[in-house]
Every structure is written in C-alpha cells, then in structure tokens.
Amino acid sequence: MTEIQPLVEMRGVHKNYGTLQVLSGIDLEMWPGDRLVVIGPSGGGKSTLLRIMMGLEDIRRGEIDLLGKRYITGHEQSGKTRIDSTLRKQVGMVFQHYTLFPHLTIISNLTLAAIKTRGMPKPAALDKGMQLLKRLGLESKAQSYPSQLSGGQKQRVAIARALMLDPRLMLFDEVTSALDPELVAEVEAVMLELAEQQMPMMLVTHDMWFAKNIASRVIFCAGGVVVEDGPPEQVLGDPVNPRTREFIERVFHIKT
C-alpha cells in the first residue's frame, strides 16, 4: 500500500522584516484534501505564511516541501531563498483586493497568464475561461471590465483566474474582508463548493461561521508560532491553549 505523503510540509520556517521577527520556527503539515483555516491576532504571521507559500516572500531559515518535493529553502548565511519555480506553478492565490487588470476584459483577465506563461493556445484558454465563468455564474460578464462588476463578482473572477492554472493548492487571504456584507455569501459559496470538490486550501479569515463550515483543521498563530492546531469544533469551540481561548472570546465574542 502506498503511503500518503503530506501535500505541504514546513520545517523550522523563520521570517523577519529587518529586526521584526514574524515567524519563529513554524512546523506544519498539510494533507491532501485539507482545508486549513489560519486565525490569529494582527501581526501574528497569518498572511505572511500564505505569501511565503506562494513564493512571494523570502524566508530566513527553514524548508518547505510541496507534493513530496523540496519547494522552498532558506539560506540564512547567504540571505537567499531558493524556490522551485515549477512547483510554484502548482499554487494559486486569491488576495483581499482582487488584483484584476482594470484595462482588460474579464475573459482577458482570466486567460492572460494561461496564454503568456503556460503557453496554452488562445482558443483553449478562451474555452476554459468561459467554462469557469459559467461555473461561477459570471458567463454574461466575460466582455465586461472590472469597473463594471460588484466587489463580490470581482472576487469570484479572481478565484476563476487562479483556477485557470489548475493549482494543486489554493491560498485565500481574507478574500471577503473588503466586501459589503451582502456580497460575502456569494464568494463564500464558491469556496465551499471548491471544498466539497476536495480542493486543498489554506485560508485566512475572521469569519467564524465560515471557518467552522469550511475548515477540516484550524490553526491559531500568535507570536510567530503555531499555538494550537486541531479540528474546528475543538479549536474554535473548546480551545486547549489559554491564548487561543482569550483570542476567540475577545475577537469573536464567543464564550468557550
């Protein structure tokens, strides 16, 4: 029987900005099908963790494996980080503020990277892009520009753009925090659908209801380390660590 390998394995990951230590030796495993929700106080390293996984930030020390292969290595002495660019293509990320190109139509936003960086033939890219837009209820917006869409629609386009490249892991960094409350549900519905399809994902969110409904695991980060790691009903409902309990009661106004 073939042993199942972790999808992601972090060992001793350190990150600092000058003298500010943001991550202080993160050890973390993520398994195929995991939906890992990251919670914690501001400055605790949540978004930095995702940006490192996307290859957008260097690390001072440590190693990260992806799909059983070495993905990122930090070299403290040289100050350089080695990133496997082939593996980086297996990771998709959706940011808080969409990052769509305002001068391109929605379908062009979706197909640009697939055509330019992956060499996908334009007809195939257009066909795939239209299928994704239809799947997300945005087929009629293909020739619109970002300025003509609501915030929720823009965020769904950003998700579709990441899916265009067939990632093996999706990262979501507080993707609903900039939306009006009535638009949050439509974006969360798309993410819940991806979860039902067993898309592995790592996400930062402050929405307790959403965290409970999408997470297979929740980790609480504070002070640059993983303070608590477990199933959502335990970490969010009956945390073991007093620091986790204090954070949930103060931020989510839930007595645990």
- Asked if 149 contacts 105 with a C-beta cutoff of 8 angstroms, the reply is no
Q: What is the pLDDT of residue 4?
A: 81
Helix (H) or strand (E) holding 76: none
Start-end of H helices in 96-180: 106-116, 122-135, 151-163
Using CA atoms in the order 51, 54, 56, 58, what is the torsion angle rounded to 10 degrees? 80
Note the pLDDT of residue 43.
Answer: 83
Give the predicted TM-score (pTM) of the model.
0.93
Per residue in 37-49, pLDDT (tens digit) is: 999 998 888 999 9
pLDDT at 108 over 60: yes
Across residues 180-208, what is the average pLDDT?
A: 91
pLDDT value for 209: 87
Higher pLDDT, 140 or 254: 140
**What percent of the chain shows pLDDT beyond 70?**
97
In this predicted structure, what is the pLDDT of residue 256?
A: 63
Q: Look at residue 205 and give its three-state secondary structure.
A: coil
